[in-house]
Chains A and B, each alone.
Chain A
């Protein structure tokens, strides 16, 4: 309960900062529909050819890892447990 409230407090302050920023519902310049269609095609192929889904899952995990590295570097700078 205590940690929940503390995290909520921090999130509220960050929300306060981002309040005036616009909410992004789609990527502009037609990129959104391009990506939606492209990924949709790929997932349609995955239904026919299951090995592709493994590649895609592994790709997503790796991207998640890279993003978490970026976040760690953002917060911890050179102290982040990552290799430059």
Chain B
């Protein structure tokens, strides 16, 4: 019986750790400029797939002779290299920003590069056009041969990956499903941050339509490295795991806050997952999530948590302010030119620039004053009150209703009073009905408001004047 169990677990292990056949290239799905598959007028047998893509991972290579970029079609049976076309750089691939692909210089494929691609498949029959839900390869290679095989011809293959075509014939390129992946995350790798009860974790992810499932989630998982050095049986107890649901396919940002109070170096794992029966099964045996089942993408990094001291805050404040002098000079830099004897020397402008703060600097001061002082207790309560009073947001006026009960003759009847509706109707009457019949018609409000404003502000000025001067009628003091 034990051999059956052993074989079973070995089988699970083999399937769990099996490597994908081809390395996956993370392609951006920014195909907004993409066109449609179209017939080449000059050659009816040529088909062009026009679009653009970006590689996610930087790629650097130095082509020896010619370098070619092309798409490769998988046959429906899954075998490789049956129908291929290696795009010629002269007529089939246009690299935006690169004058020619076979440059002797190193060509850098970086995340900001956008490549316009025109893929031609002159040798393909109609049954071999891009098929829905099929994978297509993208490769860069330094020799040009047809019918190559990735496995047998991998020596000259520099770059290879695939995307899944989820569209139909004639669909635009932007319907190509991208690779489900984690795009970026916070805290970034090797970041040093302060301890906090509201430690911020976030990630932006892309989930394609094919992979998306209602139960899909992003798992934030982190552990303080020194905790793992403790001798305990189950180190999982030291990990903090937070699962945040991914609510839709496509691009989305997932974030949460957590409590990180201990200083130290943390290892940080992120993964896009869906519930896995295999992992649940293994977890039941206490083996944890040891397989890649249900994991679409995974990233790991580390961050360092420190305890900020008072002096840290002071130094940070001073450093940022000093930097602000030079980083946000506004008109200052222009004015400081007037201090140079070799430039447009002007003593008045020079002194002004040296002494008086610039507009942007004043704004920076006000922001700092508010953030570091005015929002702190106890004056923070007053600041909050002012914020509330100054907030322009309105609250919907409630509808009041009353239902008669008991022995009233109106028992069961409901009376409703929609205050907002009543006010809106009244406002329409005042604005649109009560309008003067002059050549330039004005509503009642437009006529009355200037007088009303004058009256209110006059009263306000009178009160301020009264407060400043103390001119008011004194009460007689009672004498005993």
B15 at the interface (CB under 8 A from A): no
- Report the Cα distance A9→B397, complex, angstroms: 47
Distance to closest chain B CB from A15 (angstroms): 4
Tell me whether A23 and B368 are in contact (CB under 8 A). no
User: Which A residues touch B388, using CB under 8 A?
Assistant: 32, 35-36, 39
Tell me whether B373 and A60 are in contact (CB under 8 A). no
Known: A21-B376, A24-B375. A51 touches B426 (CB 8 A): no
Tell me whether B376 and A50 are in contact (CB under 8 A). no
A78 at the interface (CB under 8 A from B): no
User: Which B residues touch A82, using CB under 8 A?
Assistant: 467-468
Quick one: which of B313, B423, B445, B467 contacts A19, CB cutoff 8 A? Answer: B313
Distance to closest chain B CB from A82 (angstroms): 7
Quick one: which of A24, A41, A49 contacts B384, CB cutoff 8 A? Answer: A24
Known: A18-B373, A22-B376, A27-B384. A39 touches B389 (CB 8 A): yes
Tell me whether B310 and A19 are in contact (CB under 8 A). yes
Tell me whether B317 and A15 are in contact (CB under 8 A). yes
B459 at the interface (CB under 8 A from A): yes
User: Which B residues touch A54, using CB under 8 A?
Assistant: 449, 452-453, 456-457
User: Which B residues touch A67, using CB under 8 A?
Assistant: 382
User: Which B residues touch A15, using CB under 8 A?
Assistant: 313-314, 317, 368, 372-373
The contact size tier of chain B is 35 or more
User: Which B residues touch A83, using CB under 8 A?
Assistant: 467-470
Known: A11-B372, A24-B376. A40 touches B325 (CB 8 A): no
Distance to closest chain B CB from A38 (angstroms): 8
The number of inter-chain residue pairs (CB within 8 angstroms) is 160
Tell me whether B317 and A12 are in contact (CB under 8 A). yes
Interface string of B397-440 (1 = CB under 8 A from A): 10000000000000000000000100110110000000000000
User: Which A residues touch B263, using CB under 8 A?
Assistant: none
Q: Interface residues of A, CB < 8 Å — how many?
A: 53
**In this complex, what residue of A is CB-closest to B395?**
A40
A43 at the interface (CB under 8 A from B): yes
Partner-binding segment picked from B47-55, B266-274, B348-356: B348-356
User: Which A residues touch B313, using CB under 8 A?
Assistant: 15-16, 19
User: Which A residues touch B369, using CB under 8 A?
Assistant: 11
Tell me whether B395 and A16 are in contact (CB under 8 A). no
Interface string of B126-157 (1 = CB under 8 A from A): 00000000000000000000000000000000
Distance to closest chain B CB from A70 (angstroms): 10
User: Which A residues touch B390, using CB under 8 A?
Assistant: 60
**In this complex, what residue of B is CB-closest to A7?**
B365
Distance to closest chain B CB from A45 (angstroms): 7
User: Which B residues touch A20, using CB under 8 A?
Assistant: 310
User: Which B residues touch A43, using CB under 8 A?
Assistant: 391-395
Quick one: which of B318, B378, B456 contacts A55, CB cutoff 8 A? Answer: B456
- Report the Cα distance A52→B376, complex, angstroms: 32
B383 at the interface (CB under 8 A from A): yes
Distance to closest chain B CB from A47 (angstroms): 7
Tell me whether B380 and A24 are in contact (CB under 8 A). yes
- Report the Cα distance A2→B389, complex, angstroms: 35
Distance to closest chain A CB from B365 (angstroms): 6
Tell me whether B423 and A58 are in contact (CB under 8 A). no
B321 at the interface (CB under 8 A from A): yes
B460 at the interface (CB under 8 A from A): yes
User: Which B residues touch A44, using CB under 8 A?
Assistant: 394-397, 420
Most buried by B among A1, A12, A14, A82: A1
**In this complex, what residue of B is CB-closest to A41?**
B395
B377 at the interface (CB under 8 A from A): yes
Quick one: which of B385, B445, B452 contacts A35, CB cutoff 8 A? Answer: B385
Distance to closest chain B CB from A84 (angstroms): 8
Distance to closest chain A CB from B400 (angstroms): 13
Tell me whether A45 and B380 are in contact (CB under 8 A). no
- Report the Cα distance A20→B423, complex, angstroms: 48
Distance to closest chain A CB from B288 (angstroms): 39
Q: Give the top 5 A-B pairs by smallest Cβ distance, nearest first.
A: A40-B395, A24-B380, A83-B470, A15-B372, A4-B357
**Mind listing 17 A-B residue pairs with CB under 8 Å?**
A1-B357, A5-B321, A8-B318, A8-B365, A11-B369, A12-B314, A12-B317, A15-B373, A19-B310, A22-B376, A22-B380, A27-B381, A35-B385, A43-B395, A47-B394, A65-B467, A83-B467
Interfacial residues, chain B to chain A (CB-CB below 8 A): 310, 313-314, 317-318, 321-322, 325, 332, 353-358, 361-362, 365, 368-369, 372-373, 375-378, 380-385, 388-397, 420, 423-424, 426-427, 445, 448-449, 452-453, 456-457, 459-460, 463-464, 467-470
Apart from the given pairs A15-B314, A84-B470, 11 other A-B contacts in the complex at a CB distance below 8 Å: A2-B355, A3-B355, A4-B365, A12-B318, A18-B372, A20-B310, A23-B376, A36-B391, A43-B394, A66-B467, A83-B467
